[in-house]
Amino acid sequence: MTWKGASWILAAAALFDALRYFFLFFWFFGPAAAALYCTTKVSGVVGTTVGGLVCGAGAVAGGYLGAPALIAFGTIMAMAVGFAGWLTVTFFIFAANGRAFKDNPFSILWSLGGLGASVLVMVWGIYKTQIENDKKVLKKYEQTQQTMPNAGVY
């Protein structure tokens, strides 16, 4: 395993973590996204400045008045997206590289940590150990090949 080979799983983990943090801060990003959408639709009708002011004020008011609902929704969605990301990335690791869990007993701990903290950190921790072990095995194999060039050839 190399970092290049692990890059697609790292990218998937980063995507799920980004979505999770988007929902954790939904009390901020929700009204901001609504203001952005409103500004793009309204500014063509009333002008950019007026549309920005009206939509910005509406987003501030909506964010203030809707904060409890936005916080609750964001928290629930963050947990759901985080769990779905953890399941997806763990499945990908098992399907593409089952050795990661078989060769390293601490990978289960990394996986459980990823369930609570960050999927990206989980994947990094699992693959860091596996890549270090694979480098040692490759170095040992290369040394064996130098001392006995026909070893393993039948």
Angle, nearest 10°, between helix axes 107-116 and 119-147?
A: 160
Residue-wise pLDDT for 54-101, tens only, equals 888 988 898 888 889 989 999 999 999 999 999 999 999 888 888 888
- Read off the amino acid at residue 125: G
pTM over 0.95: no
Residue-wise pLDDT for 30-62, tens only, equals 898 888 888 888 877 788 888 888 888 988 898
Q: Where are the domains of the chain?
A: 3-142
Cα distances from 58 to residues 24, 26, 50, 86, 119, in angstroms, run: 22, 16, 12, 36, 35
DSSP code, position 152: T
Burial of residue 149 (CB within 10 Å: 0-12, 13-18, 19+) is: exposed
Say which residues have a Cβ less than 8 Å from residue 129's Cβ, sequence separation at least 6. 104, 106, 107
Cβ contact 114:129 at 8 Å: no
Predicted pLDDT at 153: 60
Cβ contact 81:115 at 8 Å: no
* Closest C-alpha to 27, from 65, 80, 84: 65
- What CA–CA distance (Å, rounded) separates 152 from 154? 6
Q: Which residues of 30-69 are buried (b: 16+ CB within 10 A; e: fewer)?
A: bbeebbeebbeebbeeeeeeebbebbbebbeebbeeeeee
